[in-house]
Amino acid sequence: MTDCIFCKIVSGVIPSKKLYEDNDVIAFHDIHPIAPVHFLLVPKLHVAGLSNCALEHQALLGRLLLLAPKLAGEQGLDGFRTMINTGKSGGQEVFHLHVHVFGGGAVLPKV
Ligand code: AMP
Ligand code: ZN
């Protein structure tokens, strides 16, 4: 996916404020944070979104969710919110699967 911004971040073509990387996953700070701490968990594999996931992505999805509390804790958060926008009507703007993790500051409003 040569025109995918997150693939370009994964390959290092576009810089990011990286906070974690392993063979399958990268995490970096969101360029437009909506909370004092706001980072994105991104699989290195290009998958457009949650609706494009299948059984073969089950382990990867688990990895992403298990990393959320680990990295949030390392960022000093004792509580946080996760968000996966899916599809245009779900507010998704970057069509490479990612999990938002954000928190810090005031208690987040109920949704
Ligand atoms: P979504 O609306 O769920 O697709 O969220 C995409 C997120 O990616 C937004 O919160 C953007 O601020 C963020 N974003 C877009 N480009 C970059 C970038 N180059 N580095 C870090 N975050 C980005
Ligand atoms: Zn991509």
What's the pTM value of the predicted model, to 2 decimals? 0.97
Q: Is 89 in the pocket of ligand 1 (CB under 6 A)?
A: no
In a domain, 109, yes or no: no
Q: What is the CATH number of the domain that holds 77?
A: 3.30.428.10
Cα 23 off chain centre by: 15
In a domain, 111, yes or no: no
Cα 60 off chain centre by: 12
In a domain, 110, yes or no: no
Cβ(93)–Cβ(24) below 8 Å: no
CB atoms under 10 Å from CB of 105, counted, come to 9
Q: Containing domain of residue 95, as a range?
A: 5-103
pLDDT tens column, 3-24: 999 999 999 999 999 999 999 9
In a domain, 94, yes or no: yes
Sign for the pseudo-dihedral over CA of 39, 45, 47, 50: negative
Active site (annotated) includes residue 96: no
**Number of separate domains in the chain:** 1
Q: What is the average per-residue pLDDT within 42-68?
A: 98
Q: Is 75 in the pocket of ligand 1 (CB under 6 A)?
A: no
Q: Which member of 38, 96, 98, 100 is catalytic?
A: 98
Ligand 1 atom with minimal separation from the 9 CA:
19
Question: Could you tell me the two tokens for 46?
Answer: 């290009």
Cα 27 off chain centre by: 6
Residues of the chain with pLDDT > 70, as a percent, come to 99
93 C-alpha to ligand 2 centroid (Å): 12
Residue 22 corresponds to which amino acid? Answer: D
The number of residues in the chain equals: 111
Q: Is 30 in the pocket of ligand 1 (CB under 6 A)?
A: yes
